[in-house]
Chain A
C-alpha cells in the first residue's frame, strides 16, 4: 500500500476485488480502510520508495541501463507482477524480472538478451532444480547449473556494459547482439550456498560441442547413449568419457 498509492486508494474505498487480490479478510480490509491516508503515504523525499526500487532492481542493472528508460522501474510498485508476488510470498526480484520481460517485448534485442541473462542468474541464485535419482554410470546436469541460449554477443555486451557502469560512464554504449546466431552459456553457483543471503554466480560461454553434450545431460545420460553423443559432438568415445569425468570433477555434472 505504501508503494502503490492507487492500490491504497482502492483499499481505502473498500474495493473488495483489491482486497481479494491481496488475500485480505473483512477485518483486515476495515483496518486498512481506516488508516490515515496522509500517514500511509508519508515518505520523506521518496527515500523509502527509492531504496525499495534500488534493492529490488539491483540484479537487473544491465537490462535497465540498456533499456535507457529510467521510468521503467518506477512502474513496478503498481504492477500486477508485484502484487502477485506479495500475495503469494514470492520473490520480488523474480517478479521484477517478469515485469521487465512483459514491458520490454518490443525493446531492442540487446535489452531482451540482457534481461534473459540477468533473469536466469536471479533465478539460479534463488531456485535449485530438484536432484534426479541416477543409476550407476549415469550422469546429469548438476542442480546448481543452468544452460542458457542467448543471441550471440550477449556475454561480451554484458561485460562491456558492466565495465561502463562501474566506471560511471554514460550508457547505453555502442554494443549490440546478433539475433541470427546463438551463444550458449553455462551459469553456475556454489553447490552448497550460504544458508542466508544470495550465492555468487558465474557465467561462461560454452564451446558448441560442450554445450551440446551438456544439453543432452539435462536428462540422465547413461553410458550406452554416450557413443552416439560423442559422434554428435565430434569427439572419440574414449575422449568423451574423459570430458565427462572432468565435468563431474568440476561438479558441472553429477554422477550416479
Chain B
C-alpha cells in the first residue's frame, strides 16, 4: 500500500513500514561514539534502522551515507525547525528537507516539536526549547505538521521535547493529544523526555498518559539520563547515557502494550561505546517482544 499524505491517519499509518529496533545518530557522532555500521554488522537485530539526526547546514554525514548505501532503512529526524512557528517552515526549508529525506530513503520525518532556533536560523541561535503548553500553540503546531506533511509527502511525527521548564497550563500529554487530533497525525513518544517532564513538573511517571492517544504512536524513543541537584531539587539531564532511568522503563512498560501502531523503537545512545549499550538494546528487544505477545 503506497503512502498517501492526503489520506486519513489510519490509512497513512497502515502504509508505514515496521522498522523494528533502531539507533539514533547526529552529524559526526560516530567519530567519537557508537559506530552504527559496526553495530548493525555485529548485531543486525538490534540496529535494524538508523534515525538520522540532521539539519540543512551540516547535511548528511559519511556514516549516514554509508548506511544508506548499504540499503538499510532510515528515518529523518530534523534538528533545525521550530514546529511551533509557521515562519520557521519556509517553502525553501520544506523543499530542502523533502530532498534530504528522499536522499536518505527515509520512512518518515520526525523531530522534537518546539523551538530548535531562537530568532533566525543562525550559528549561536540553536536551542531546544519546548512549546508553550496551551491550546493556541497546539493549534499552530498542528497546522504546521499538516502543512509539512503535505509539502514533503512524508508522515511527520512530532516528538515531545526535553526541558526542565515548561510554560503553559496544559499537561504535556494533553498538549500532544490536541496536536495529534488537530493535525490527524502520528506521534513520536520519547519516554525518556516524558520522564524528565514528569520529574520537572512534580508528576508521577504515568500521569497524563490516560489522555495521550497511544493509538497514534508510530515511534518511541528511549535514552539514558542523569539526575542532578539544583536549588534543592532533583532534575534529570537528557544526556543520552547508556542507562535509562527507572521512570523511563516504567513509562515504556505502560506504553508498549497499548501502542498498536508502533513501527519503530529507537535507543538514543549515539555517544557511548557499543559494550555499554548492548544491555539496553537487549532489554528493549525483550520488552517489545513481551508486549507484542501480551497484546
Contacts and interface: CB of A to CB of B under 8 A. Distances in A.
Interface of A: 2, 31-32, 35-45, 47, 52, 55-59, 85-86, 89-93, 96, 126, 195-198
B235 A39 contact: yes
A55 B118 CA distance: 13
Q: Which of A36, A37, A45, A90 has the most CB of B within 10 A?
A: A36
A2 B167 CA distance: 13
A195 B164 CA distance: 33
Contacts, number: 87
Contacts of B118: 86, 92
Q: Which 7 A-B pairs have the closest CB atoms?
A: A56-B124, A197-B57, A196-B56, A38-B231, A42-B164, A39-B165, A89-B119
B232 interface: yes
Contacts of B228: 44-45
Interface of B: 55-58, 80, 92-93, 96, 118-127, 132, 164-165, 167-168, 200, 226, 228, 230-233, 235, 237, 239
B123 A59 contact: yes
Given A40-B164, A90-B120, 7 more contacts: A38-B231, A42-B200, A44-B228, A89-B119, A90-B119, A91-B120, A92-B124
Nearest to B57: A197
Contact of A38 (B55, B58, B167, B232): B232
Contact of B124 (A36, A42, A58, A197): A58
B122 A91 contact: yes
Contacts of A92: 118-119, 122, 124-125
Nearest to A90: B119
A31 B120 contact: no
A112 to B, nearest CB: 22
Contacts of B165: 2, 35-36, 39-40, 42
Contacts of B93: 196
B131 to A, nearest CB: 13
Contact of A195 (B96, B120, B126, B200): B96
